[in-house]
Structure 1
């Protein structure tokens, strides 16, 4: 008795055990946690991330949520109503549970610094009882005084208030980045509840807002798209087999695969990243492809042997299909594992690992649960299109026609392929790497509009930081070190996209001018370290000494220099970050003090740079792994190489399309290659396996290879329609990267399908590889007429 006869004999224990395993993995789903931060894409041990954490610990600065009030009227943000809104929102945001109330920065929290004969006056811009401000809060006169004070305090111009007075920021640091979504939702609720006069706008942006909104945004999109993809694939299954049985059992295999993979993800403690959404559609495509081939074989058996008992028919179908399904699963797993080990980004590595696990589960369930379910289905009705008395259906006739045209014009097929190859190489050479997190959103989305509006009015909300560390405590009292920081700020402001900088030096110069009766000539760094220490002491005596906690540490040994950048594009980051690091190495690497680039811009540069450095290596390694496995399973270098051709062309052509259309290689688009490799190899392996069966039984001729198209070609066609249709659904997504991702994968699958049914049979006839003809397969039971199978 064959393995599958034994398995079907034990069908109920098999089904029971399968559902126990599914249940055991499902318990991991509630443990899945989302991580939508950009930091997730970089190695936790990366110096950029380590120093970012160091800055957060020393200065309390994280990725903030930024609220901007924009008023383009003549009085700008200095009119009484705008200032009242700023104070109200500052108080409300500071009271939120996951916001640090001591690190909310706005006109309502910051102080003006002016000098008097008796010392310093340090008082809030919106305080009610003040010495420096003469007019009452809530009057136009007070607004004008604040305008003049801001103009006289360079630190705030462009960073807190727009240079033209049209906008002002409220910056809130989130205490727990895992609560970014809740914090963003709470901030948005406050903003939406604020009554605004005509001409006044409120916008919410910043990395904290992006991380918070991205989670909700993608979840809402996925909740619509994933059921739609499943519905479309189900309809395709019904169209292919005219059978609810086929649709139901296929969906059970898909469900078991997806639940198992994501359940194991939760049990392992692996986070659900932004790109993990793509894994779901990928596993659906792979699992349904296995089912399509098994069901095609099952109904083919029922056609040729209509009176065969159902259980025997299932066993025969599995005996025919276990080999190609196992081969495709092996090559797909190899591709995913290669991606996992070669990627430098943790989410991509996790994608590759759990993609491989999902493919393995799909194979296990297709080899066990699927035949068991087919064997216990109460109805033995054969769909009309598969009955022996019926002529070939429409799709079989289409594929037969395709086969005749392809095999009768080999020169056209090869010539067209070579032309496409040359054009693709030209297009792929134009591919560039770029990424901007804000482009994850449609241009109409509030967070996108806010980002563009704020960066247009202000210096910029993307932070490029330098952590300056002195050799000893109170190193920042030394004029030489402060002047080096001043020179660093001047250099940073020459970098593209950098519109302003801030550091403790700005406070020192403002204090120095204030104690010299506001004389602009004294907006300098004092030469005497004792005077610098005295300035800090005077400030502490007049105000809260912790006001500097975002610029210096308690011991005055470490300082944070922050540059405001007006865009988050990698093409800009990869210019300014290396340039800054080179400057620091040259000017800030000594025993007295050293500086390290960090901040959001630096971290983003390194994780996108990881794509630029590793993408090609990952793709080549995945292609090599797939090719090697194909060579091993077919025991032929020639046949293995032929099986890799559709995969190679699928990836190359999509890179060409991206190059010609100006679509950059980013996080979302870089993932298509791994998925394309995993999905495309299925078409190639099924094709080569069937060609080998035909070749060994009847030889490789134009006539004999016609037998490839009616059954295997039809199954591949519906495999292609199901996968391409599933990914094509993503083209309707409201998330731009998913639109590109789904469209590119659909194109890749299309290319792989076309190359598999055109170029591979043509080359098989031309080359007649020995491995496709020698040693007849004794295990197959195909009829002696190749066309009857």
Structure 2
């Protein structure tokens, strides 16, 4: 026996039809409150939020904070990338030293040290040249021949010199096409509240350094975390400035086609603006920052909102063209649509909220904001819009409000109506055969989709190296800024042996003064995995053990101390380690030792070199294998390991959220159709097009080479949240029509020509509303927009082509009995009228 839900619907109908002014007033007041909250939304950019609470990132943070860098604690750096000439020529060296001199004179830049090829060559020429001014003078006074000799000497005597030059450095000819100079700044660590606010004190410093760099001419670029953070933030603003107006323009154009009435168009636009204001206001009031993933939310809400609006207005117009009055027409429309909106909204929320299962905070935030936004959108278009429409049409009767077309989209005699009945024709002739073919296709697509790649990198959050011409051609203020970070990252990776992404770190925690401590580090490097660089049949490493051995090789007294405390004579002391450490930290190797062992001797850092072309997943697995060899608690970390860990979490998030969304949606649909119609199996029939769509979207990702990343990981669950809209409207309308017609084929024809017309209008607005994300400044969000638009198209096609056959087969196996059982259920909304 179905639940008598009609009382609730009747109560809402009465308020919408008889008290529309009060409803409109309440919604406008709530909008004003949320508008205040919208002004409090902060912005968060970059990859840091994805790494929050990831164990590997926590270990890397501990490494960065506990182990003293070469310039000491409380410092951070900027890189000056010099290109465009022979950077080791007299002119090139003079240009760089001139820049260093001008930078050092600026106290506001807080420079405490500079390391670069120009300074090394200058000190080779004049060992007493300590400042940039003195180094500049030394180079200016030297002949080109003396400079070439100094370059060769520096390359021979200073290992760091080569690392600061591009791979094409030729010491014989003293030539290199590019160099990197590292500038250190005295910047204290940020307080937790400053870190949470996303502030970076280097940003204004590095922006000012760009200005100073331009004053010396040549091609010297400033690169560092401040520039990266600045572009992270700028790309969000630029993308929103392009995407939101583009979405609005396209949606308005489609609204003109769908509504064909100026007043209705303006009403729909007001409702869309309210949905955006409510959602951003919620974010501001609860303190959720706006990040790159949330760029997708405004177009998403615009697209879904207009979908709801087209259904509401179209269903109302269907009644009006039959001669019914304003109140009766709206009551009939809301009788059906409030139930459909409830089902659609709940299933959409299940799809979006399934992202709350993710261990990645930004994806969880997306799940919250998208879910709340969909609820707000349903309330506005399910209650406010009908009430406002009633007020508007009553005003048309009293005042000369301009009225254009008030006919619905799609009819049985229209060309669109005839096209939409194609799926009904298949359902009439061979529904079971068609469904078997569909099942085979779905199984094949699912198998193919298992090969989708997973990735996570900083570059996914940045604009492309070159801004596309179509974006450059945009007029102000829509033209995006010029971006440099991706270009510079690629340049450094291509031209320098950076080493940062060619090593992994093992963070060891334990009493490092125990006898087994150093032996444990030493033994872990034996029999290295395939991805590790091998030296003397051991993993190439840098650790406190290698520092001990280096000092022992140059200091006989320390060597004797090590030998007395090395019971197995392998060069690694295994007793009295406190004495060993005291001697080590009293030596000239103290600074180097501080990079691998903490002062309190409770943790150590071990750096292993890995093959440059090794697969990240394999490197991470091997690093974890080596970490398991340690006697103490040891965590594999480093950029490679952290990004791979996040990539694994992205894959896990996508699969878990998809499973939760499918299961949750199936359970809900079974329950709701059981409660509302007394026919719970309709819920499973409703789910068939979505299963096909999800498999097709996943297969498309592999086919076009799009990986699961921080943005696309949410697409599969979103497919359920958005796609269910189309099948719910078809199924719900079908249940009403089949009760009246008692013939499933006739009921399907009426369904797809009525509801199908609204679905066609909404799919166009949704596809183009979300599809504008392909205009985003950075490609990853464009991929999200493309896949989401495709998922909407697939859902629409599945609902129009596949769902009729599903409903016919369902009706054959359960229709007669179910209809008899449901005869005592409350009258369908159409009969209630």
TM-score, normalised to structure 1, is 0.82
User: What's the CA shift string for 1:598-623, capped at 9, x where partnerless?
Assistant: 34333222222101223212111111
**1:737 corresponding residue in structure 2:** 780
CA distance in 1: counterparts of 2:120 and 2:548, whole angstroms:
16
Quick check: 1:459–1:564 contact (8 Å CA) kept in 2? no
Pairing 1:27-426 to 2, within 5 Å after superposition: 27-44=36-53, 46-58=54-66, 59=68, 60=73, 66-70=79-83, 73=86, 75=88, 79-81=92-94, 83-84=96-97, 87-88=100-101, 91=104, 95-96=108-109, 101=111, 139=142, 141=146, 144-145=149-150, 148-149=153-154, 151-154=156-159, 157-158=162-163, 164=169, 166-170=178-182, 175-176=189-190, 178=197, 183-184=202-203, 186-188=205-207, 190-191=209-210, 193-195=212-214, 201-203=219-221, 209-306=227-324, 308=325, 310-340=326-356, 342-377=357-392, 378-379=395-396, 383-384=404-405, 386=407, 394-400=415-421, 403-404=424-425, 407-408=428-429, 410=431, 413-414=434-435, 417-418=438-439, 420-426=441-447
Q: Is the 8 A contact 2:453 2:707 kept in 1?
A: yes
Distance (Å, rounded) in 1 between the aligned partners of 2:363 and 2:605: 32
Matches of residues 631-670 of structure 1 in structure 2 within 5 Å?
Answer: 631-635=670-674, 636-670=679-713
Indicate yes or no: 2:635 matched with 1:596.
yes
Aligned residues of 1:181 and 1:215 also touching (Cα < 8 A): no
Report deviation, 1:9.
2.7
Q: In 2, Cα distance between the equivalents of 1:660 and 1:338?
A: 26
- Does residue 431 (structure 1) correspond to residue 443 (structure 2)? The answer is no
Return the offset for 1:633: 1.1
Cα displacement (A) at 1:653: 0.6
CA 5–129 in structure 1, closer or farther in 2 if over 3 Å, else same:
closer
- Give distance in 1, aligned partners of 2:96 and 2:571: 33
The 1:171–1:251 alpha-carbon spacing in structure 2 relative to 1, beyond 3 Å, is farther
Report the CA distance between 1:265 and its aligned residue: 1.8
Superimposed CA distance per residue, residues 245-294 of structure 1 (whole angstroms, 9 cap, x where no aligned partner): 33222222222222222221222222222211112222222222221111
In the TM superposition, residue 553 of structure 1 has moved relative to its aligned partner by: 4.4
Distance verdict in 2 for CA 1:674–1:126, change over 3 Å: farther
Note if 1:689 corresponds to 2:732.
yes
Deviations 1:108-136 (A, max 9, x none): 8999999xxxxxx9988866779xx9966
Q: 1:750 to 1:260 in 2, by over 3 A?
A: same
Residue in structure 2 matching 1:617, options 647, 656, 665: 656
Deviation at 1:367, TM superposition (A): 3.0
1:600–1:443 Cα change, 3 Å: same
| Aligned CA distance change for structure 1 residues 261 and 643 (closer, same or farther; 3 Å) | same
Bigger mean CA offset, 727-736 vs 712-721 = 727-736
Q: Give the corresponding residue for 2:24.
A: 15
Superposition RMSD in Å = 4.5
Q: Secondary structure at the match of 2:454?
A: coil
Moved more, 233-242 or 594-603: 594-603
- Contact 1:427/1:656 (CA < 8 Å) preserved in 2? yes
Q: Secondary structure at the match of 2:505?
A: strand
Paired position in structure 1 for 2:748 = 705
- The Cα of 1:148 is off from its aligned counterpart by 3.1
CA contact (8 A) 1:399 1:710 kept: yes
Contact 1:42 1:607 in 2 (8 A): yes
Partner of 2:645: 606
Q: Which residue of 1 aligns with 2:814?
A: 770
Secondary structure of the corresponding residue to residue 596 of structure 1: strand
Q: Distance in 1 between matches of 2:294 and 2:312?
A: 28
Structure 1's unaligned 5+ residue stretches are 115-120, 517-523
Q: Residues 564 and 761 from structure 1, CA distance in 2 versus in 1: closer, same or farther, beyond 3 angstroms?
A: same
Distance 1:314 1:79 in 2: 77
1:723 aligned counterpart, secondary structure: helix
CA distance in 2, matches of 1:12, 1:194: 63
For the residue of structure 2 that corresponds to 1:273, the secondary structure is coil
Q: Secondary structure at the match of 2:745?
A: coil
Q: Is this contact kept in 2: 1:615–1:670, CA < 8 A?
A: yes
Aligned length: 749
Distance 1:730 1:75, change over 3 A: same
2:25 partner SS: helix
Q: Which residue of 2 aligns with 1:118?
A: none
CA contact (8 A) 2:416 2:757 kept: yes
1:473-523 residue CA offsets vs partner (Å, 9 max, x unmatched) = 8999x9868967998999986199xx997667787777778889xxxxxxx
Name the residue aligned to 1:117: none
**Residue-by-residue CA offset, 1:655-678 (whole Å, 9 max, x unaligned):** 111122322211112121122111
